[in-house]
Structure 1
Amino acid sequence: MVFHKILLTNLTLLTLLSGCSWSSDIDHFDTKSILSTTHNKSAPVKVWSKTIGDGKPYTYSTLQPVASNNTIYAADQSGIVTALNVIDGKERWKVNLAEYISLFSNKNPALLSGGLTIHNNYLYVGTEHATVFALNIRDGSIVWKTHVLGEVLSCPVISDNLVLVHTSNGMLQGLNKFNGAVQWSIHLDVPAFSLRGQSSPVVSHGTVIVGGDNGNVSALTSNQGKIIWQQKITKKIGIRGINRLSDVDITPLIINGVVYAVAYNGNFTALDLQSGHILWNRNIGSVHAMVLYMNRIFVVDKEDRLMEINIKNGTYIWQQSHLLNRHLTPPVLYCNHLVVGDQQGYIHWINPDNGRLVLQKQVDSAGFQTQPVITNHNLLLILQSKNNQVHAILNE
């Protein structure tokens, strides 16, 4: 489970978290399932590795690389953004978005936190300092930067000439993608107690769908940011500690007019795109991105069970429970397998038809916490570790 995300509340509670009555409830999160024996029929090969920045680990960073054409773009939290040749990992360009506070001071780290997102000729990234940057993918030069209304903890989303940004204080803003000017803003509400993270929005036919920390899924008009409907999908299972969490931090999926969304404390819910009416819900909680493949949904739940869900009624098709409590990354489909990383730096190959564990290999002892990325033509698997090592893996 990915509980290494920070819990947000008021300043007083943050300073007292170590003494809270719920601290003993999370002891089991450190228990790691014993790795099962697999018979590796193929051997993944590390093609190259590249350190981004100083290689300093950032425990809570959710930055992930993106691939476009023959280039991998990656960043670290301090402010380094770089473009790498997909074949050999050699650097094509590098910029540092950290800034000097004064003439005689050291550079202030940019604290990059939301991204990366690539669209056409621009690369977008947000910061904990509430800034969104648009960079030219040819050389990394800054095209524009805009101050927004809160920390940017999720990937910016580009649609209808807008850059949609969901900030940690519950603001959803639409920025002009050409110059960064704020076109509209709306507050979606944030409870006093939540996970550190935000749902990236998804857009379908002019409707923006986004999850919120208050347990709501909201539908808004993309051109003006006006609310069309809101629907709560969480359930209250307690009044103390993690039982109070109601975050919907996963980017929803939209399939054939149906919205699929998951909350941390449940539920996995299907909603009608037009009205927000709940079609069905199931007791599955998660903070991991879902994967859609040929009308099949794959998700890792909060205890690190990987499963396939029937999109018609939400029932399990299969579950893989051999990786419990290994702090898995969201899955990705690569070479006809589901692939996840874990906090110990292993990558795991799973058969998507039956959930069988096929292959395991340790790649980086620092561990992984963000979703792997696939290059063009399904050639390479790209992973960024917690100490900002980018690895290119080829499954022979």
Structure 2
Amino acid sequence: MQLRKTLLVGWVSVALLSGCSWFNSEEDVVTMSPLPKVENQFTPTTVWSTSVGDGIGEYYSNLRPAWQDSKVFAADRFGIVKALDADSGKEIWKIDLSEKTGILSRNKPALLSGGLTVSGSHVYVGSEKAQIFALSTEDGTVAWQTKVAGEAISRPVVSDGLVLVHTTNGMLQGLNESDGAIQWTVNLETPALTLRGESAPATAFGAAVVGGDNGRVSAVLMKEGQLIWQQRISQPSGATEIDRLNDVDTTPVIVEGVVYALGYNGNLTALDLRSGQVVWKREVGSVNDFIVDGGHIYLVDQNDRVMSMSTEGGVSLWRQSDLLHRNLTPPVLYNGYLVVGDSEGYLHWLNTDDGRFVSQQKVDSSGFLSTPVVASDKLLIQARNGKVYAFTR
């Protein structure tokens, strides 16, 4: 059985609309924080916006754009993939990866998920149908297509001649970058009850480091597909199955031989890259990817607190709690500010020194779920309805 994040969000939504609780206890009521009042110090400029299909609808999906040189690549869940001019947003090419069913029938959706990755002359995307596509960045033609071990809902990662794919049934697979042939498979194990999401690998020094649904972080030697070490950073605890969820769905971050990893209902943990031994850990949990930059860790926790911590021991530097339960996106650093989106379609800009709000703007009523993307001097974000926006500061 797999517990979908959409179900969790649905429970939160019910609580918001009706005032009821998840577990019929007044203590468990989840309430979205009201929109904080912000005196804007600046107003970001919308350079362009364009629609890419129908987006993700009400489904949980981390589909987000990718960027390389002068092109932005974006997709919708149905199977539309587009290349856009980064300066104007104009369409360069478009391909439909949905399954053809007949002249009079609507195509079957490809169920693209997890975000696009661009490397060299190809852009890669996975699907809930366990398919990985490699498309030409020039014209969108399919260079190769490979069926993997399970649903591919995290973004593919390209490194050392391999396309790394982490599937929902706990398999990490290495595919040949040139033709998609599966080179190796590592079983990272999956418990009976998990969140709907998977960690994308981080790579360094020939190793792929990835979080698992069993609360562990694993390091795999990419050349042979050999497990090097595993370390638990989240231990099941609590009275309910929800409390005992301990997935590590965030992508680890590797900086100067240290692996930073973050689990749900778990810990932010610093690990030695070579041995997997714990350097330090702090009690904070999340399902959102996080940032390590200049000795600081920026993250959104599982209650939507935005936080800054030191890489030296995980000391808390500041905490912004005015966006609780607004279903925030993972954060991004852009133009010296920390930016997050929320489920009501607002972008919030925070000062990285103290977490104060410096700007706020309503962008899209369908709301945001996926990570904003920095593309040279622009900030890109894709709304749930498939519309892609480009901003400058």
How would you bin the TM-score normalised by the shorter chain? over 0.9
One-letter amino acid of the structure 1 residue matched with residue 379 of structure 2: L
After TM superposition, the structure 1 = structure 2 runs for residues 1-396 of structure 1, keeping only pairs within 5 Å, are 5-6=5-6, 23-24=23-24, 31-54=31-54, 57-101=57-101, 105-376=105-376, 379-395=377-393
Q: What is the deviation of 1:293?
A: 1.6
Code of the aligned partner of 1:383: I
Output one character per residue of 1:36-70: Cα deviation in whole Å (capped at 9) or x when no partner: 22221211122221111145724312100011111
Aligned equivalents of 1:55 and 1:228: distance in 2?
Answer: 39
Q: Aligned-pair distance for 1:187?
A: 0.9
- Secondary structure of the residue aligned to 1:72 is strand
Distance 2:326 2:27 in 1: 13
CA distance in 2, matches of 1:314, 1:375: 29
TM-score (normalised: structure 1): 0.92
Which stretch of structure 1 is more off in the superposition, 94-103 or 379-388?
Answer: 94-103
> Structure 1 CA distance, aligned partners of 2:22 and 2:344?
26
- Aligned amino acid, residue 279 of structure 1: V
> 1:263: how far off?
0.5
Give, in whole Å, the separation in 2 of the partners of 1:393 and 1:28. 38
- Distance in 2 (alpha carbons) for counterparts of 1:326 and 1:22: 17
Compute the displacement of 1:298 (Å). 0.5
Instruction: State the distance in 1 between where 2:340 and 2:346 align.
Output: 8
Measured at CA, do residues 219 and 24 of structure 1 come closer, stay the same or move farther in structure 2, by a change above 3 Å? farther
The one-letter amino acid of 1:100's match is K
Aligned to 1:369, the other structure's residue is in SS state coil
1:26 is displaced (CA, Å) by 11
User: Structure 1's 280 and 27: CA in aligned 2 closer, same or farther, altered over 3 A?
Assistant: same
Letter of the aligned partner of 2:313 in structure 1? N
Following superposition, the deviation at residue 103 of structure 1 comes to 7.0
Contact 1:7 1:194 in 2 (8 A): no
Once the two structures are superposed, residues 140-179 of structure 1 have per-residue CA deviations (whole angstroms, 9 ceiling, x without a partner) of 0000000001000101001110000000000000000000
1:25 offset after TM fit, Å?
7.2
3-state DSSP class of the match of 1:199?
coil
Contact 1:7 1:196 in 2 (8 A): no
Alpha-carbon distance in structure 2 between the residues aligned to 1:120 and 1:111: 25
Q: Which of 163-172 and 111-120 deviates more?
A: 111-120
Contact 1:349–1:360 under 8 Å retained in 2? yes
1:322: how far off? 1.0
RMSD over aligned CA atoms reads 2.0
CA distance in 2: counterparts of 1:243 and 1:26, whole angstroms: 17
Which whole-Å deviations, capped at 9, do the CAs of 1:171-193 have from their partners, x for residues lacking one? 00000000000000011000011
How far off is 1:22 after superposition?
6.0
Residue by residue over 1:84-123, the C-alpha shift from the partner in whole angstroms, topping out at 9 and shown as x without a partner, is 1122211110000011246764311100012200001110
The aligned counterpart of 1:14 is none
* 1:79 aligned partner, one-letter code: G
* C-alpha distance in 1 between matches for 2:164 and 2:370: 21
Distance 1:6 1:244, change over 3 A: farther
Looking at structure 2, the residues matched to 6 and 365 of structure 1 have their Cα atoms a distance apart, in angstroms, of 18
Deviations 1:307-340 (A, max 9, x none): 1111110110111111111111011111110000
- Pick closer, same or farther for the CA change 1:325–1:26 going to 2, 3 Å: farther
When residues 107 and 239 of structure 1 are mapped into structure 2, their CA distance, relative to the original with a 3 A threshold, is: same
CA distance in 2, matches of 1:255, 1:167: 25
Give the AA of the match of 2:52. Answer: I
Asked whether the 8 Å contact 1:253–1:261 carries over to 2, the reply is yes
CA distance in 2, matches of 1:195, 1:181: 29
- The residue identity in structure 1 corresponding to 2:212 is G
Query: What's the secondary structure of 1:259's corresponding residue?
Result: strand
Q: CA deviation at 1:27?
A: 9.5
How many residues end up aligned between the 2 structures? 379
Residue 15 (structure 2) aligns with: none
Q: What per-residue deviation string (whole Å, max 9, x for no partner) do you get for residues 184-234 of structure 1?
A: 001100001110010001111011110000001001111111111111111
Secondary structure at the aligned position of 2:242 is classed as helix
**Structure 2: any 5+ residue segments left out of the alignment?**
9-20
Q: Choose 383-392 or 174-183, whichever is displaced more.
A: 383-392
Alpha carbons of structure 1 residues 332 and 25: separation in structure 2 relative to 1, 3 Å: farther
Instruction: Say if 1:150 and 1:168, in contact at 8 Å, map to a contact too.
Output: yes
Q: Distance in 1 between matches of 2:184 and 2:172?
A: 8
Write the distance in 1 (CA, Å) between the matches of 2:101 and 2:176.
27
- What corresponds to 1:11 in structure 2? none
Task: Identify if the C-alpha distance between structure 1 residues 352 and 164 changes in structure 2 by more than 3 Å, giving closer, same or farther.
Answer: same
Normalising to structure 2: TM-score of the pair?
Answer: 0.92
Aligned CA distance change for structure 1 residues 301 and 25 (closer, same or farther; 3 Å): farther
Q: Which amino acid in 2 is paired with 1:393?
A: F
Say which SS state the counterpart of residue 179 (structure 1) adopts: coil
Unaligned stretches of 5+ residues in structure 1 = 9-20
User: What is the DSSP-based 3-state SS (H/G/I as helix, E as strand, rest coil) of the residue aligned with 2:5?
Assistant: coil
Larger mean Cα displacement after TM superposition, 96-105 or 331-340: 96-105
